[in-house]
Amino acid sequence: MATDPVIEIRELHKAYGQLEVLKGVSINAHKGDVVSLIGSSGSGKSTILRCLNLLEDSQSGEILFDGEPIAWKGEGHNRRPADGKQVLRVRTNLSMVFQQFNLWAHLTVLENVMEAPVTVLRQDKAEVEARARGLLDKVGIGDKCDVYPAQMSGGQQQRAAIARALCMEPQALLFDEPTSALDPELEQEVIKVIKDLAAEGRTMLIVTHDMRMARDISSHVVFLHQGLIEEQGPPETLFDAPRSDRLRQFLSHSQ
Ligand code: ADP
Ligand code: MG
């Protein structure tokens, strides 16, 4: 029997006031899927991740996490998640990695990675520390445990942010342009970590401008245009045989 997707978004609509940003977007990610979201700036990619993580309200459509629909109260612009526990479950199971790393400047790298499992999940400190050190090793900065973010390169900071996301032991990772704040040579070290995670079978939703990475690691690619999915499919089809003029035009500008 087919299992439920880990992430399912059905016909999601989102507006900021009068501005309709998502006009009915549906996306599925099953366990082990790597779904890349591509599209021009302003097409609604970040908004999808923020709605999915319940950082942002949406007006209609459904979001299911692990087969369980988010419960809403209110309608339209008043719609909110109804169940705080469910919100916490979704947020802790969908760890987000941001373009600007968003590490705590006043905490060491190790403290950054340990923070949420200890304070939010109330896990045992010694266990979290062992896991955090292991993850920092895994992303190649095991020697940076005791330094502060400002003392590291952007690529190292982003790898710390990935270790921090992994330390929550989430069911899926959400990346919002994880390499676009980095110089090209630093980009590669972060891409390598993301590739390793893909090879491990992690479920990931990745907003990216990096078409080469999207082609290499995605099981599915979604091209968004002005709040609607214009085209989607396996990377070979999307990149090598795009059907829509808009996607062809987008790709010609971004490769
Ligand atoms: P992308 O990530 O694809 O570049 P976004 O999801 O960030 O696009 O934004 C989609 C649209 O929503 C853009 O027109 C943007 O200006 C608008 N937008 C994003 N966040 C807000 C906000 N907090 N308030 C009002 N408009 C917003
Ligand atoms: Mg964005």
**Does 254 have pLDDT greater than 90?**
no
Which residue shows structure tokens 């900021």? 16
**Does 185 have pLDDT greater than 90?**
no
Q: What's the pLDDT score for residue 52?
A: 97
ipTM for the whole predicted complex goes beyond 0.90: yes
pLDDT digits (tens, 9 = 90+) for 220-251: 999 999 999 999 999 999 999 999 999 999 99
One-letter amino acid of 67? G
| E strand map for 66-156 | 68-69, 72-73, 80-81, 94-97
Q: What's the pLDDT score for residue 121?
A: 94
Q: Kindly state the tokens that stand for 108.
A: 């060491």
Residues 59 and 65: their CA atoms lie apart, in Å, by: 18
Decide if 181 contacts 154 (C-beta within 8 A): yes
> pTM of the full predicted structure?
0.95
Q: Is the CB of 47 under 6 A from ligand 1?
A: yes
Residues 93 and 85: their CA atoms lie apart, in Å, by: 12
Closest CA to ligand 1's atom 6? 44
pLDDT level of residue 4 (50, 70, 90 thresholds) = confident
Rg (C-alpha) for the chain, rounded Å, is 18
Ligand located closest to 56 CA:
1
Q: Is the CB of 131 under 6 A from ligand 1?
A: no
Q: Percent of the chain at pLDDT above 90?
A: 96
Residues 27 and 146: their CA atoms lie apart, in Å, by: 40
How long a stretch of residues is the chain? 255
pLDDT digits (tens, 9 = 90+) for 15-59: 999 999 999 999 999 999 999 999 999 999 999 999 999 999 999
- State the sign of the Cα–Cα–Cα–Cα dihedral 168, 172, 175, 176: negative
Q: Is the CB of 21 under 6 A from ligand 1?
A: yes
Q: What's the pLDDT score for residue 242?
A: 97
pLDDT digits (tens, 9 = 90+) for 74-125: 999 999 999 999 999 999 999 999 999 999 999 999 999 999 999 999 999 9
Instruction: Give me the DSSP letters along 208-243.
Output: -S-HHHHHHH-SEEEEEETTEEEEEE-HHHHHHS--
Decide if 160 contacts 144 (C-beta within 8 A): yes
Q: In a mutational test of the pocket of ligand 1, which residue from 40, 46, 47, 209 has the highest number of ligand atoms less than 8 Å from its CB?
A: 47
Q: What's the pLDDT score for residue 255?
A: 63
Q: What average pLDDT does this structure show over 199-214?
A: 95
**Does 149 have pLDDT greater than 60?**
yes
Q: What's the pLDDT score for residue 1?
A: 56
Q: What's the pLDDT score for residue 3?
A: 82
